[in-house]
Amino acid sequence: MEKLKKEEKREIFDFVFSALHRTTKKLGVEAYIVGGAPRDIIRGLEPKDIDVIVFEQDYSTFAKIFMSEIGEKVTFFKPKKYEMIRINLSDNLTVDISPPKSKNLIGDLKRRDFTINTLVIPLKDPRPNILDPLGVATDDITRKFLRTPSDPQKTFSSDPSRIIRAARFVSEGFFADEELIKSMEKKVPSINSVPKERQGEELRKLFLSKKPSLGLFLLRDIKFFNYAYPKIVPALYKDQKSPYHFEGVFEHCAHVVDLTPPDIVLRLSAFFHDIGKAFAEKTLPDGRVVYWGHEIVSAEIADDFLSTFKFPYDERKKIVFVVKNHMIYYTSQWSDSAVRRLLRRIGDDPELVLKFVEYDIKALKDPSEKLKNIQELRDRIYSEILKLGKAKIESPIDGYEIQKIFNLKPGPLIGQIKQAVINAIVEGKIEPNKESAISFIREYLRQIGQDSK
């Protein structure tokens, strides 16, 4: 939305609030902003999700009027299983409009997830005015104390996805008391009553939180993964017998998650990059423990996990790519052809892989020398990219051209020729252009006893 893009952050909220206020006034109803938005305002954060409850009126009518008050075309959808309409105002701002959970405001707030989400902003007022009807939310936010407004077991029973949400708030620095954690542990077996897509939405927020490892450790300890995704259970308490690492597999992965910036691709790559070690460990005759091929196993698990929890395909593809290619043991002794071979492997997005490898190195016992090496490798890779004119090493001549120029029929030979051309470019034997490729193919065909024109 152009209007929203032009507004400053706080002005965006005021713009939306004004449209909600006009809608409320026009319909003459009782409506409130509840939950995360007033909580974030109190904490000095930018609201990203605005939840609105509407009394005495069909919420879909309220949503329709609100969208007209915005004055621009917006996208929205209505989930099949929930009474709610989600309106997407921008990439970073949604408005959810729904009926209340009870006949009155106090009843609604007592059925919400945590006390820190029981602040409200009445939409009848012309300006935002944050109220604390239960009298506990403001204090709990200040103390960073996480508790439920009613019996925690009932709270988690009514919506088990709140278990993941609690872990996310722990990752944001909130303290969960023993009673809350015990209730989470008792109710976690019911987590799969929540659709995987919704679990995935909550997990995404956890991974983008301030310190995700805190929530990840909590989920591990209450056995969330045992029920939600048991395939990674062998990695949860697995030691690493490695001279380079000082943490277990899960601890190291969580540590790297914390080191990365809040980018979902980098953070999920971090979480999965070494998970496969729990399945790839081998002890050699000399007593050394190795994890050969763990990156392939890790990539397969990442792909399955992200598919299971309905993460977008484009994110999944990038994460699997990074995990599969993160094992880079560079030294200054590498030849130019070795650098080109690596570039051939990671050429789809070399900077993404190298950026991740840097964060992975920072979690090692002594990262200094390896960080120097990775910077040198980056310089050499970009030198090769300048020579090639692009990052991806591929044949400058396609299969159809090879058939036409050399009078060859379609078949396995064409693919064999293209691979030979790529190998010759990687080894520095020919230039990455069509003329060099044609000369090379002519000689290649002669050597393998194929007639060419």
pTM: 0.87
pLDDT of residue 92: 77
CA distance 391 to 432: 12
Q: Reduce the DSSP state of residue 415 to 3 states and report it.
A: helix
Q: For 69-127, give the DSSP string.
A: HH-S--EEE--SSSS-EEEEEETTEEEEEE--SSSSHHHHHHTSS-GGG--EEETTSSS
pLDDT of residue 378: 95
Burial class (CB in 10 A: 0-12, 13-18, 19+), 349: middle
pLDDT of residue 452: 53
Rounded to 5 degrees, φ, ψ at 64 are -65, -45
pLDDT of residue 6: 41
pLDDT of residue 58: 87
Work out the end-to-end distance of the chain between its first and last CA atoms, rounded to an integer number of angstroms: 59
**Residues carrying CATH 1.10.110.30, the chain:** 151-228
Nearest Cα neighbor of 185 from 152, 135, 223 is 223
CA distance 207 to 193: 22
pLDDT of residue 295: 97
Structure tokens at 41: 């305002």
CA distance 421 to 8: 53
CATH number for 1-140 (one of 3.40.50.300, 3.30.1550.10, 3.40.50.620, 3.30.460.10): it is 3.30.460.10
Coarse DSSP helix, strand, coil percentages of the chain, rounded to the nearest 5 percent? 55, 10, 35
Please state which architecture CATH assigns to domain 151-228.
Answer: Orthogonal Bundle (1.10)
Structure tokens at 35: 């939950």
CA distance 281 to 239: 10
Burial class (CB in 10 A: 0-12, 13-18, 19+), 214: buried
Instruction: List Cα–Cα distances, 449 to 104, 169, 181, 446, 452, in angstroms.
Output: 87, 68, 73, 5, 9
The DSSP symbol for 54 reads: E
Q: For 5-26, give the DSSP string.
A: HHS-HHHHHHHHHHHHHHHHHH
- What is the Cβ-side half-sphere exposure of residue 102, based on CA atoms within 13 angstroms? 9
pLDDT of residue 244: 63
**Residues carrying CATH 3.30.460.10, the chain:** 1-140
The DSSP symbol for 38 reads: H
Q: What is the pLDDT along the chain (453 residues), one digit of tens a residue?
A: 444 444 455 678 899 999 999 999 999 999 999 999 999 999 988 888 899 999 988 899 999 999 999 987 888 888 777 789 999 988 778 999 999 999 999 999 999 999 999 999 999 999 999 999 999 999 999 999 999 999 999 999 999 999 999 999 999 999 998 999 999 999 999 999 999 999 999 999 999 999 999 999 999 999 999 999 999 999 999 998 776 666 899 999 999 999 999 999 999 999 999 999 999 999 999 988 889 999 999 999 999 999 999 999 999 999 999 999 999 999 999 999 999 999 999 999 999 999 999 999 998 878 888 899 999 999 999 999 988 888 888 899 999 999 999 999 899 999 999 999 999 999 889 989 999 999 999 999 988 877 654
pLDDT of residue 274: 96
Type of residue at 14: D
The DSSP symbol for 160 reads: T
